[in-house]
């Protein structure tokens, strides 16, 4: 039975994902033993690809990845967060985004590695990641992938996304750093968690979801405006709900039911949100809101707003879904 747990790019103080399951969305396992006919690299790069081969920067932070070394590079995400940049020489947006990603990779001074993947030369990787547009950016923590965004995002927005990824990485215990050249400037440190947030995280690490929810509830009692505690508590609740379902069964039931079956659609949305697939979860609940009224609609609206909080305001799907929610309600 597949038991997903919550795994969006997290907020500080939010619970970390465990055994992240991107049901049917991303499967990296089939690439472990693949060997292509020859090395592939990002357009403009040269030299063979290997798990430790940097790009022109020469500092070990930026890697050129092919199907031959993909599994090795992903294994390194158990210690250092990994950002995958899937590109194509045919994509103008890829050429615009890549310098932004490389600039930020050096700015974050080893807190994550950046891996460039040429989708044209490495179609199996693109297929496994279900790439639908180029460029596509994916985070990998402990071998667990989570899609971030597609297209050429502005630098400040990319920075916000990376901040969320690093918060989740810290909560997941993926806190290693890649070696970088000596610098007089220290690497940025993760802010210390407030006491009740730290208590909640300790409870999550020992599997005590009730204790975690209680700690976040007390944090909200002390500070009703603590949006991070509210989002984290909702994520704990999401983890608990998702653990009750078999993912395949719940998704199949929702597919055959239709948007009027509120319970079936809520269960499926929990599966998707717990797997980090917030876009599909948002769209599913929006369809239910359009098809229902009264108390049922309000119940689904509350769940959707809770998902917005879990995903965080920088998630690229949240603004779109909020606009659609307003249209559906008014």
pLDDT for 322: 93
Average pLDDT over residues 138-143: 88
% of the chain residues with pLDDT over 70: 78
**Is it the case that residue 55 has pLDDT exceeding 60?**
no
Indicate the helix (H) or strand (E) that contains 297. Answer: helix 294-311
Between 62 and 26, whose confidence is greater? 62
The pLDDT tens digits for 231-243 are: 899 989 998 998 8
Inform me whether the pLDDT recorded for 26 exceeds 80. Answer: no
pLDDT band of residue 186 (cuts 50, 70, 90) is: low
Task: Identify the pLDDT of residue 191.
Answer: 66
Mean pLDDT of 140-152: 88
Domain contains 13: no
Contacts of 178 (CB under 8 A, 6+ apart): 60, 61, 80, 110, 111, 112, 113
Place of tokens 């070394």: 69
What's the mean per-residue pLDDT of the chain? 80
**Structure-block tokens of residue 271:** 């599966």
Tell me what pLDDT residue 190 has: 58
Q: Which residue has the higher pLDDT, 192 or 292?
A: 292
pLDDT number for residue 181? 54
Does 11 map to a domain?
A: no
| Residue 273 domain-assigned (yes or no) | yes
217 pLDDT higher than 50: yes
CA–CA separation, 186 and 184 (whole Å): 6
Residue 59's pLDDT is 60
Whole-angstrom CA distances from 245 to 5, 107, 237, 248 are 11, 41, 14, 9
Domain's final residue, options 117, 139, 172: 172
37 and 142 inside one domain: yes
Q: What is the CATH number of the domain that holds 45?
A: 3.40.30.10
Predicted local distance difference test score (pLDDT) of residue 71? 87
pLDDT of 130: 84
| Residues 80, 153 within the same domain | yes
- The arithmetic mean of pLDDT across residues 48-55, rounded, is 36
| Two structure tokens written together for 25 | 């969305």
**pLDDT confidence of residue 219:** 94
SS3 55: coil
Domain that holds residue 296: 195-329
Instruction: Select from 120, 124, 179, 169 the least CA-distant residue to 148.
Output: 169
My answer on whether 210 and 153 are in the same domain is no
């Amino acid at each position: 039975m597949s038991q997903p747990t919550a795994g969006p790019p997290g907020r500080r103080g939010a619970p970390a994902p465990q055994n992240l399951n991107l049901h049917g969305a991303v499967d990296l396992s089939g690439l472990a033993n693949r060997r292509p006919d020859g090395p592939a690299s990002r357009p403009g790069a040269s030299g063979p690809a290997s798990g430790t081969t940097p790009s022109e920067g020469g500092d070990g932070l930026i890697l050129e990845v092919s199907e031959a070394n993909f599994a090795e590079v992903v294994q390194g995400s158990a210690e250092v967060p990994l950002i995958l940049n899937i590109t194509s020489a045919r994509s103008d947006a890829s050429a615009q985004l890549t310098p932004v990603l490389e600039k930020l990779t050096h700015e974050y001074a080893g807190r994550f590695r950046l891996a460039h993947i040429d989708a044209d030369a490495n179609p199996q990787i693109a297929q496994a990641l279900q790439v639908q547009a180029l460029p596509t950016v994916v985070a990998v923590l402990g071998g667990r992938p989570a899609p971030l965004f597609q297209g050429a995002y502005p630098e400040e927005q990319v920075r916000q996304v990376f901040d969320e990824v690093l918060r989740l990485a810290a909560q997941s215990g993926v806190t290693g750093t890649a070696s970088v050249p000596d610098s007089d400037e220290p690497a940025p440190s993760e802010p210390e968690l407030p006491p009740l947030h730290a208590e909640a995280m300790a409870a999550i690490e020992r599997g005590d979801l009730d204790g975690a929810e209680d700690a976040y509830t007390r944090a909200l009692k002390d500070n009703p405006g603590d949006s991070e505690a509210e989002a984290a508590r909702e994520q704990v609740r999401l983890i608990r709900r998702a653990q009750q379902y078999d993912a395949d069964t719940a998704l199949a039931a929702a597919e055959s039911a239709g948007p009027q079956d509120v319970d079936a659609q809520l269960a499926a949305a929990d599966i998707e949100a717990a797997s980090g697939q917030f876009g599909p979860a948002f769209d599913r609940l929006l369809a239910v809101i359009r098809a229902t009224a009264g108390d049922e609609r309000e119940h689904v609206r509350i769940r959707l707003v809770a998902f917005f909080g879990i995903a965080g305001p920088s998630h690229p799907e949240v603004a779109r879904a909020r606009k659609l929610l307003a249209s559906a309600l008014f």
